[in-house]
Amino acid sequence: MPIDSPLSNSLNDWLEYIDSINSKSISLGLDRVKKVKEICNLNPDFPVIIVAGTNGKGSSCKFLESILYYAGFKVGCYTSPHLFNFNERISINKKSISDDLIVDSIKSIDSRRDNELLTYFEITTLSAMDIMIKANVDIAILEVGLGGRHDAVNVFEPEISLITSISLDHQDYLGNTVEEIGYEKAGVLRKNKDAIINFDAPPISVLEYAKKISANVSIIDTNYKLNCKHKTFDYIGEEESIVDLPYPKIHGLHQLRNITGVLRCIELLRVNLEIKKEAIIDGLLGVNLRGRAEIMSQNPFIVVDVAHNPEAALSLYNVISKSRNKGKLRAVFSILKDKSIKDVIRLFVDIVDEWHISKINSARAMPTIEIINAIKSYRSDALIYSSDNLHGAYMNAYEKTSLNDNIVVFGSFYTVSECLIK
């Protein structure tokens, strides 16, 4: 049963309330959202960029936001989930929106939703756009929450759609094959609009859908690419090249792939918008994204990452292999029950010396015993320590760690957040 709408102006109270409206945390289909969008007259007159994909969405959004901000545009950006507080999800000019503005927007949408049972994500998506319209932004960047075709973000019409990657994740909702998942993500593409496919060997379902609707397709390493050098890299596009760009502060070769797609987007935008090379340089260097291969210390080596699917786990494994110290590796780990835990931990079981685990503080958490069983299914002699909470698990690992040792924290946004929050 939904709880009554709050009498207070507390953002947490309002988030709890909208989470209770629809008993399903995910409710596919756009009819309800479209209806409320029109009731609230949420029809932006500025260009919208939609970013979809299995991994790399959040990083790509933040690189785009940063470059456009340094180019002098007023930029709205909507991403999910958050690490520490909800306000991280909605930003204008790289600054998170205040509690009061978010509450006012949620109240407005709730009062006009005409009893439609919108989900938490659907209401907050509409709220994000409402805030951006009222702020008179020049351009908006919207990250898809799940899939694409039926995601709430997809009620808005993009000028450019960027798909960062496609791999197995959320199979309960999107399908059991890359082809099925690709078809769902291709739903963000639009007729005669630019569609950036920023990964190798795109599924046939994506290419066929793009052809069917006559999208203007760009594919990495076919229409655009990166040329990596020792201290800088070059972007090689169809119409222009941008040379001697600095490497970002965010670690991992996968981030260079994300940047390649972002720069293709910038190349397309430069047809109508003035975006100087200096803004691109400042934008690349101006991104510090928490929880994405974030190296917090070198002695000991501590890296935290929200990796929760096989593709992301591989990227994290590569970062560790390149940057770790010679000492022991301790993993602080937990994961949600709908994730393929064996595929996520597979690469780590032979390099981790100790596992420090706890259950995530969420109804969606995988029970501790299932995490233990998954680890021991690979190594029956694995050394596993269980704690009452993830922050305790992290502190237990940290207290045992010498300067030449290593700690990796991964498995979920929740895992990183609960370990680091004080």
The DSSP secondary structure of 37-90, one letter per residue, reads: HHHTT---SS-EEEEE-SSSHHHHHHHHHHHHHHTT--EEEE----SS-GGGGE
Query: pLDDT digits over 367-403, tens only?
Result: 999 999 999 999 999 999 999 999 999 999 999 999 9
Q: Is the pLDDT of residue 169 over 70?
A: no
The 294-298 sheet, strands edge to edge: 294-298, 301-304, 406-410, 329-333, 354-357, 384-386
Question: Are 118 and 21 in contact, with CB atoms under 8 Å apart?
Answer: yes
Question: Are 310 and 167 in contact, with CB atoms under 8 Å apart?
Answer: yes
Q: Is the pLDDT of residue 161 over 70?
A: yes
* Angstrom distance (rounded) from CA 199 to CA 90: 27
pLDDT of 215 reads: 97
pLDDT of 110 reads: 94
Question: Are 339 and 309 in contact, with CB atoms under 8 Å apart?
Answer: yes
Domains of the chain: 11-285 (3.40.1190.10), 294-420 (3.90.190.20)
Q: What is the mean pLDDT of residues 305-323?
A: 92
Q: Output 284 or 177, whichever has higher pLDDT.
A: 284
pLDDT band at 7, cuts 50/70/90? confident
pLDDT of 174 reads: 57
pLDDT of 176 reads: 62
Q: Does pTM surpass 0.85?
A: yes
* Angstrom distance (rounded) from CA 252 to CA 397: 24
* Angstrom distance (rounded) from CA 395 to CA 388: 12
pLDDT band at 40, cuts 50/70/90? very high
In order of 28, 50, 216, 279, the CA distances from 148 in angstroms are: 10, 9, 18, 30
CA 375 remoteness from chain centre: 26
Query: pLDDT digits over 95-127, tens only?
Result: 999 999 999 999 999 999 998 899 999 999 999
